[in-house]
Amino acid sequence: MDLDRLHEKIHLCQLCDLSLNRIKAVSGEGPCPAEIMLVGEAPGREEDLAGRPFVGRAGRLLDKALAEADLQRSEVFITSVIKCRPPENRKPKRYEIETCRPFLEAQMKVLNPRIVCLMGNVATQAVLGKQGVTSLRGQIWQDRFLVTYHPAAVLRNRNLMKDFVSDLKKAKRPSDIFAKGSFLNR
């Protein structure tokens, strides 16, 4: 399946109740294939209105962090674990994550990214089955997944920005990490 057909399926999806109240499904955006894929939690209000990922306050912070990491938004594919906004921006429920998981897995297959940045606990739990971003961040798992903070967490605690940017730099140059071997599959 190509990315356009996959995203059309996402926009037409009615597999869970989140589809009933969404304005727009947010499939994601970026190049295909993609060297780097960023995966967040779920669309928020601004994303639901625009149909685009990370366009609100957290998105502006993400853009700033990408620039500091010498990356452009157009160079990375950005998406979320779930593709529709949960009511009142609550955390996605387990069944919502499980319902949307095939879409995320299909995106990874189509995009074939060299590295996938899992931003926050929801993305890390959904993909790796692990929690505790503070202790997991900056590490590469399964030779492909880099755990980092969610931009919304950085908004709440600006002291995390330096580590967030550092992680994005690692995503740009993971060969530095692989050469050292110190972060692999801990």
Residue 175, pLDDT > 80, answer: no
Give per-residue pLDDT as tens, 145-161: 999 999 999 999 999 99
| pLDDT for the residue numbered 174 | 58
Residue 86 to residues 38, 39, 72, 167, Cα–Cα distance (Å): 20, 16, 28, 27
Give per-residue pLDDT as tens, 89-134: 899 999 999 999 999 999 999 999 999 999 999 999 999 999 999 9
Residue 172 neighbours by CB under 8 Å, 6+ apart = 36, 69, 70, 71
| pLDDT for the residue numbered 19 | 95
**Where does residue 143 fall: left (phi above 0), alpha (psi -120 to 50 degrees), or beta otherwise?**
left
Residues 109 and 128: their CA atoms lie apart, in Å, by: 16
Residue 181, pLDDT > 50, answer: no
- Residue at token pair 């995503």: 171
Which band of pLDDT confidence, cut at 50, 70 and 90, is reported for residue 173? confident
Helices and strands, counts by H and E, the chain: 10, 5
Residue 57, pLDDT > 60, answer: yes
Which band of pLDDT confidence, cut at 50, 70 and 90, is reported for residue 1? confident
Residues 108 and 127: their CA atoms lie apart, in Å, by: 11
Nearest to 117 by CA among 29, 36, 181, 56: 36
Residue ranges and CATH numbers for the domains of the chain are 3-175 (3.40.470.10)
Arithmetic mean of pLDDT, 59-78: 97
Bridge partners, 40 (sequence order): 80
Give per-residue pLDDT as tens, 31-40: 999 999 999 9
User: pTM of the predicted model, to two decimals?
Assistant: 0.92
Which band of pLDDT confidence, cut at 50, 70 and 90, is reported for residue 184? very low
- CB atoms near residue 20 (< 10 Å): 9
